[in-house]
Every structure is written in C-alpha cells, then in structure tokens.
C-alpha cells in the first residue's frame, strides 16, 4: 500500500529528528490494527559502543506498561472466583501487614493507584521485601480518595497473585499472557541472562542534575527483578501482539465484563485528559487507552485507539518524551490507511528559543549572588560574574542552565498577582528581582542547617538529592522528569520526621540521622538510607 509505505517513512523521519533530544541512542515503533502488524520503524543503535543497530526484534524493558499485564491476571482470578477486588489485602495474604489508619486497602485500590501508599524508592527490589518494608510506612490518605502512583502498590499486587495462584509472578505472566499471545521473544523477569539479548539501556552521565542534550550517555545501572510493577522485557513485534489484545477488548483472555472493568475509569490521573482504570490510563471519552513505562535506561509508551482499531508502541533505550512521536505515528499511519493527506514531518522546536524572553529580563539579587538576565532576540541570556549562558526552557517558567556548575539546578521564576516576573530561584538561593517589594524570607530553624547537603543512596529513580534551605523553607531537590516534583518542601512533623511535599495527604517521609561535626550523615527516605556525599 503506497500510502502506508510513505506513512512509515515519515514516522521514521519524525523519530530521527527527535531521537537526539531523548537521551537515547535508539528506538523502535510498532503499529498494529486489530488483525495484524502494520509495520515497525527502527532508528539508531541498540548498543552505541558496538554500533549494533536497533532491529524489529531488539528487546527493551517496557517498565510500567507491565502493570496492565498484572491487572489482567488479577481480573482472571476474579473471574475464577479465587479473588475479590474489595477484600482487604491483609486478609488475602496473612503475612502482609500494612498501617491502615484510614481504612482497609483492597486490590481495587492497589490496581487504581488509590491506596495512599508511597510511590516507592525502589531500594528494595524484591516484591516480598518491598511489601515487608511497607509495614513501617503509613498511607497518606484514605483509600479511594485520590490518585497517587505507587510502584510498591503494584509490587503488592504481584505478592497477592503469587499467594493466590502458588506461582512466581513472572511465571504466572508468562503462562497467562506472554505464551497465549505468542509473545515468544518476551519474558516477565529481568535476569542476567536477559542482558545478553536486549538493547543496552542508557542514561545521561550526570545523575545529580536535570538531564541536558549536551550530557554524554553512559550505560545505565543493571538490576535483576521480577516484580509486577515493571519487569517485562519485550520487542516491538511482541508488544504489538499485546496491543492487539487490547484493541480486541481482551478477547480470548478476559470476558467482556472483565475488560470493561479493566478499562473503567476510577479516578483522575496525573496524565492530562485521562483517568486511571486498572493499570491503564483511559481517555475521557473512553476511546483511547495508554500507559507509559520506564526502567533504568529504558522508556516506553503504548497507545491504543479503540474506536479506530489502531495502536502504537514505542520502545526506547534511554529517556525523553515519547508522546509527540507516538501521536504523530498514529495520525500518519491512520492517514496512510484511509488515503488522506499525510501530516508533514516537522523539526522539534529550538530548545533555546524563549519568545517571551523580555518578560524575564532584569537583575536578581540575593544570598550573596547577582544575576542579570538579558533578552537577546528570542534568547534569554544569564550573566553572573564572568559567566554567560543561554537558558533553555524546561517547563513553564523553569529553565535549564547549560553550565558545568550552574546546571546542577534549574533556574525558575515566580510571578506577582499581575503576572509580572519578580523573583528567581536557583538551588538554595532566593533571588528577588528589582521589582520585588515584599517581605524578606522567614527565618528557618537553626537546626535545619545540619540537614543541608547532597545525599546519595539506593533509589533507582533518585540516586541522589540535595537538601537546601530557601526562603525559610527546607527543600528536597532531585532531578525528575516531572518539574513540579523536582523541588518539594519538607514539612516538619511531630515525630521529628518530615513530610515530603506541602500537601497534607502526601505519604512520603524523610528523617535525618547520625550527626557528626554539625552535619547529619544520613537521610532515611521511606525506610531506605541515603548518605551525605562530598559533592556540592
């Protein structure tokens, strides 16, 4: 089909233009309808060091897309009468102990991320180990009240399924889904054997600051795990088979009633325009289901348009945003199928372009520093001492600072009631602008000075974070793809710990311990220890 061939060429060109921005050497995109694989687009390298190209059969870790696999198996157990979604999980698995000050947590709450449990630091890689750790971590809000993404919650789903079926979760997923769907090149556990037959995962060199396109790529950390929250390894062809299962509403695997339950929206998610069901984000009109995934060195995105009978899966051995590319692929291939004009391939926007640069121009002084921001056309240029840096828009009024020292933190701005920029923030520094006429910062407790510093630890997604005092607040700052989650206020609690985040419902807790020479040496975040490092 000529239109379809040209459509895939354009998808490949679109991907080529964006791959350098994704902190990844390679990617694969598969498109399928309800009956067959339509095509696979591959670009770049499965292993950059050897120059091995990505092929359609190249395997990637799919991360949290695995959650929907676990949700399907849970619903199979419900169909068989061996599991009830609304029975407290502590009654299903006798050894599981959870603090439940707000009421019982059920499998329904775990599957829909409404349990109130912490996200999980990933410091404990086994399912039972992570669940055991949860006995010391109280949920932040009553079950069902709100959405809060919890990897540990899905680890507990895996523990429940193991208990009910008597099978390890990876064997269960293989038996119930991978084998029946013909996903012969997929596995539900990340083992050392897998390492020789998958793409190499990559991350940017600096794990202590926001990633930038100029940062070199390095091989990501390797872990071994089989937890239900994200341990499936697959290729684009196999994942297209899974997408076809969803396009066909679970036929052959789930009853129509169970598929409806799988995709019935439960609560507003953190993906704009979608609500969360069981292991899947569902559009408001219920015509599209999708889920993203991320593991160390890998990211993925699956989107299924139920009304159009078309799905796209994108697998990447690195990071970066996949949404724009997946959306282009869906639009372009659909146009190719029906003979409509194909969308034009576009280049990504210039990262250094700031059309409203003049609104940030001015001088900002505070904490012994003076920054001058100058609008140079559509460029926003920072001057400090003998440093000149062109800033790059991150999100909203936050900017990346491409500089070896200043790049440890984003430079963000706040606006007054009239919408005028009047103050800036960089790490622990508060920098009021010339137009600022408000009060000075509140005085922070002297005790907090012992906590300030850079900590490193076992967290997979946050191997390091910094604690700073800024404008009278204690803050935890860590690289995070969600800008609003990268800087979080630490709120003191009666027991000497701190809530991570200003909102009262947040479940994460941090405590500072082991003081020497006026500095705490250890930060205990959700039961795992991060230790002070010599790095600034």
Q: Does 62 score more than 60 pLDDT?
A: yes
Confidence band for 484, pLDDT divided at 50, 70 and 90: low
Lowest mean per-residue pLDDT among 125-129, 182-186, 385-389: 125-129
Backbone angles phi, psi at 535, to 5 degrees: -70, 145
Q: Does 264 score more than 60 pLDDT?
A: yes
| Whole-angstrom distance, CA of residue 7 vs CA of residue 337 | 9
What local confidence, expressed as pLDDT, does residue 76 receive? 98
Average pLDDT over residues 401-424: 95
What are the DSSP calls for 300-367, one per residue?
EEEEEETTTTEEEEEEESS-S--HHHHHHHHHHHHHHHHTPPPPPP-PPPPTT--TTGGGG-EEEEET
Fold of 2-65+185-266+278-338: Beta-lactamase (3.40.710)
Fold of 446-532: Lipocalin (2.40.128)
The tens digit of pLDDT for each residue in 295-347 reads 999 999 999 999 999 999 999 999 988 999 999 999 999 999 999 999 999 99
Q: Where are the domains of the chain?
A: 2-65+185-266+278-338, 71-165, 357-432, 446-532
Q: Do domains 357-432 and 446-532 have the same CATH topology?
A: yes
Q: Does 1 score more than 80 pLDDT?
A: no
Fold of 357-432: Lipocalin (2.40.128)
3-state secondary structure of 242: helix
Average pLDDT over residues 120-126: 83
What local confidence, expressed as pLDDT, does residue 481 receive? 60
Average pLDDT over residues 253-266: 97
What local confidence, expressed as pLDDT, does residue 483 receive? 62
Lowest mean per-residue pLDDT among 122-136, 411-425, 435-449: 122-136
What local confidence, expressed as pLDDT, does residue 320 receive? 80
Q: Does 460 score more than 90 pLDDT?
A: no
Q: Does 271 score more than 80 pLDDT?
A: yes
SS (H, E, C) 83-139: CCCCCEHHHHCCCCCCCCCCCCCEHHHHHCCCCCCCCCCCCCCCHHHHHHHHHHCCC
User: Which uninterrupted H or E stretch holds 283?
Assistant: strand 281-283
Q: Which of the pair, 483 or 513, is modelled with greater confidence?
A: 513
User: Which uninterrupted H or E stretch holds 259?
Assistant: helix 256-262
Confidence band for 122, pLDDT divided at 50, 70 and 90: confident
Confidence band for 359, pLDDT divided at 50, 70 and 90: very high
Dihedral angle over CA of 111, 114, 115, 118, nearest 10: 100
Q: Does 193 score more than 70 pLDDT?
A: yes
The size of the chain, in residues, is 536
Instruction: Indicate yes or no: pTM above 0.75.
Output: yes
């Amino acid at each position: 089909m000529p239109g379809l061939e040209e459509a895939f060429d354009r998808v490949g060109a679109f991907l080529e233009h964006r791959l350098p921005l994704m902190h990844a050497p390679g990617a694969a995109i598969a498109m399928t309808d309800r009956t067959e694989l339509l095509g696979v687009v591959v670009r770049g390298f499965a292993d950059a060091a050897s120059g091995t190209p990505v092929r359609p059969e190249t395997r990637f870790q799919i991360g949290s897309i695995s959650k929907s696999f676990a949700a399907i198996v849970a619903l199979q157990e419900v169909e068989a009468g061996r599991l009830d979604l609304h029975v407290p999980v502590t009654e299903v698995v006798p050894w599981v102990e959870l603090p439940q000050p707000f009421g019982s947590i059920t499998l329904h709450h775990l599957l829909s991320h409404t349990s109130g449990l912490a996200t999980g630091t990933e410091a404990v890689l086994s399912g039972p180990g992570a669940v055991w750790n949860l006995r010391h971590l109280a949920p932040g809000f009553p079950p069902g009240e709100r959405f809060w993404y919890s990897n540990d919650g899905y680890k507990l789903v895996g523990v429940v399924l193991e208990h009910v079926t008597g099978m390890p979760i990876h064997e269960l997923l293989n038996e119930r889904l991978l084998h029946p769907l013909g996903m012969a090149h997929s596995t539900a556990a990340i083992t050392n054997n897998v390492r020789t037959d998958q793409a190499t995962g990559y991350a940017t060199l600096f794990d202590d600051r926001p990633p930038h396109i100029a940062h070199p790529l390095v091989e990501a950390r390797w872990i071994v795990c089989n937890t239900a929250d994200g341990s499936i390894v697959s290729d684009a062809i196999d994942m297209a088979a899974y997408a076809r299962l969803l396009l066909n509403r679970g036929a052959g695997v789930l009853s129509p009633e169970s598929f409806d339950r799988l995709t019935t929206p439960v609560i507003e998610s953190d993906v704009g325009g979608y609500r969360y069901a069981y292991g899947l984000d569902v559009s408001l009109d219920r015509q599209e289901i999708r889920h993203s995934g991320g593991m160390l060195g890998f990211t993925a995105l699956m989107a299924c348009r139920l009304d159009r009978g078309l799905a796209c899966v994108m697998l990447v051995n690195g990071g970066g945003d996949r949404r724009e590319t997946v959306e282009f692929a869906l639009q372009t291939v659909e146009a190719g199928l029906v003979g409509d004009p194909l969308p034009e391939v576009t280049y990504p926007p210039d990262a250094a372009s700031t059309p409203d640069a003049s609104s940030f121009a001015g001088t900002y002084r505070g904490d012994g520093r003076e920054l001058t921001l100058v609008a140079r056309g559509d460029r926003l240029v920072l001057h400090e001492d003998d440093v000149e840096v062109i800033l790059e828009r991150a999100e909203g009024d936050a900017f990346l600072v491409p500089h070896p020292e200043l790049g440890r933190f984003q430079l963000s701005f706040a606006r007054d009631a009239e919408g005028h920029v009047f103050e800036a923030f960089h790490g622990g520094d508060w920098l009021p602008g010339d137009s600022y006429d408000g009060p000075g910062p509140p005085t922070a407790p002297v005790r907090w000075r012992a906590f300030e510093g850079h900590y490193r630890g076992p967290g997979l997604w946050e191997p390091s974070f910094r604690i700073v005092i800024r404008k009278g607040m204690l803050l935890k700052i860590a690289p995070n793809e969600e800008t609003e989650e990268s800087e979080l206020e630490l709120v003191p609690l009666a027991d000497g710990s701190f809530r991570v985040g200003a909102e009262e419902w947040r479940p994460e807790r941090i405590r500072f311990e082991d003081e020497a020479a006026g500095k705490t040496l250890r930060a205990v975040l959700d039961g795992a220890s991060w230790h002070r490092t010599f790095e600034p």
